[in-house]
Amino acid sequence: MTTKKFCFAGKETEVIVDWDILTGIGQKIAEYDPYRIVIVTDTNVRKSYGEFVKKEIESQGIECLLLDFHPGEAQKAREVKDRILDEMLGFATADSGVVAVGGGIVLDVAGYAACEYFREKLKFFAVPTTLMAAHDAAIGAKNALNSRFAKHSFGVYYSPEFVFVDVKTLQTLSQREIRNGLVESIKHAMAQDPVFLEYLLSLPSDLKLSKEELLKVVNRTIDLKLECMKEDEYEMFNPVLHLGHTLGHQIEFHSNFLLTHGEALSLGIRAEAVLANKLDMLSSDDVARTFSIFERIGAPSKLPNASDELFDKIIEGLKYDNKRTRRGTPFFLLKRFGDPPIAVYEDEIPKEYIRQCLTEIS
């Protein structure tokens, strides 16, 4: 078992990573002595792991309420969070807790609800079951919801008591969901760890990862994210965390969420590599290398439904980015592999460059 930790606002969160440990979740929760537990999950994960976690917690004599919502990014909305809050009323007391069991979407909605309910009194516990959630969404205090204009327009910081990663649960993920999570690993590796990048590119091309491979990917990616958070627990200013995300979030949102977060991010990283090259930051060789990295893992090579109208929406959408300042929206651009990206604001970029970058990935 590996135990890691991160700190947010003086509070420490334990991150437990191991194989086949889910039967231990009840005992682990019981250590915190919650009166009752609300489990939040999605309708897919409910059957595979939600019911199981409920049984384990109930075996410790703790009463549970299992709540779910449909899977999909469209559910990361205030209406869904409000429904969960309403359903908690009358059951969850001030000395109760919320356990999120699922992917990044479940974690965001559940963490947000836990934060708002009775004004931050409930303990929050994260049990991520996707690669994306295990090594990224669950690591940190951020919880966000989307608006009808953009991703992550609204957010709260609410750190879990612990993050419980049973890597064995990732075995039931589809190839697409493994790829989804791997893009965040690649993001970190490109900026922080060239050796890990080579390792990621040596993984089997069908992305059927062994126990050892899954454990290595999860552990190393978490360690790289924790390095970033040591300098910036708010995950606001550390440039590595945002690499590819400015255009990635726009691409994801304007695909009407037909692309996963990781798929959209891979296109965002490509487009922003082109932008960095146009600004004489990243070499043409490194742009080509960026493209080939995502080809290697089978990420989408083209922006789906590319058109002038889509480009307009993406460019217009930049004004809803939650990192926007009077200087416009920042892009976090690489100069070279292995170095942290650099923030470049819209006011430093010729307007037509963004459209040209989108054309390059179409």
Ligand X SMILES: NC(=O)c1ccc[n+]([C@@H]2O[C@H](COP(=O)([O-])OP(=O)(O)OC[C@H]3O[C@@H](n4cnc5c(N)ncnc54)[C@H](O)[C@@H]3O)[C@@H](O)[C@H]2O)c1
- Residues engaged in binding ligand X (CB under 6 A): 42, 44-45, 48, 71, 73, 76, 102-106, 108, 129-130, 132-133, 136-137, 140, 142-144, 169-170, 172-173, 177, 180, 260-261
CB of 102 to ligand X, least distance (A): 5
Instruction: Specify the amino acid at residue 148.
Output: R
Quote the CA–CA distance of 92 and 190 in Å, as a whole number: 43
Of 44 and 277, which CB lies nearer to ligand X in the complex structure?
44
Long-range contacts of 227-236 (CB under 8 A, 24+ apart): 227/192, 228/188, 228/192, 229/6, 229/139, 229/140, 233/6, 233/7, 233/8, 233/9, 233/140, 233/141, 234/141, 234/157, 235/140, 235/142, 236/323
CA atoms within 13 A on the CB side of 74: 6
CA–CA dist 105, 152 (Å, integer):
11
User: Tokens representing 160?
Assistant: 């879990």
Give whichever of 88 and 137 is closer to ligand X, judged by the CB atom: 137
Kindly tell me which of 132 and 186 has the beta carbon lying closer to ligand X. 132
Query: Smallest gap, in angstroms, from Cβ of residue 349 to ligand X?
Result: 24
Closest separation in Å from C-beta 354 to ligand X = 21
DSSP result, 217-235: HHHHHHHHHHHHHHH-TTS
**Given the complex with ligand X, which of 36 and 323 has the nearer CB atom?**
323
Query: In the complex, what is the shortest distance from the CB of residue 146 to ligand X, in angstroms, rounded to a whole number?
Result: 8
Give whichever of 244 and 349 is closer to ligand X, judged by the CB atom: 244
CA distance 299 to 194: 20
Residue 70 Cβ vs ligand X, minimum distance, rounded to whole Å: 9
Degrees to nearest 5, angle at CA 55 with 5 and 140:
20
Q: How far is the CB of 126 from ligand X (least distance, A)?
A: 10
Tell me the β-bridge partners of 69. Answer: 42
Of 184, 185, 177, 186, the C-alpha closest to 208 is 177
- Name, in order, each residue with C-beta under 8 angstroms of 119's C-beta and a sequence gap of 6 or more: none
- Select 34 or 103, whichever has its Cβ closest to ligand X: 103
180 vs 255 by CB, closer to ligand X: 180
Rounded least distance, CB 9 to ligand X, Å: 16
Scanning the structure block, which residue is given the tokens 């969160």? 13
CB of 352 to ligand X, least distance (A): 29
Q: Residue 140 or 341: which CB sits closer to ligand X? A: 140
Give alpha helix (H) positions in 46-174.
51-58, 78-88, 104-116, 131-132
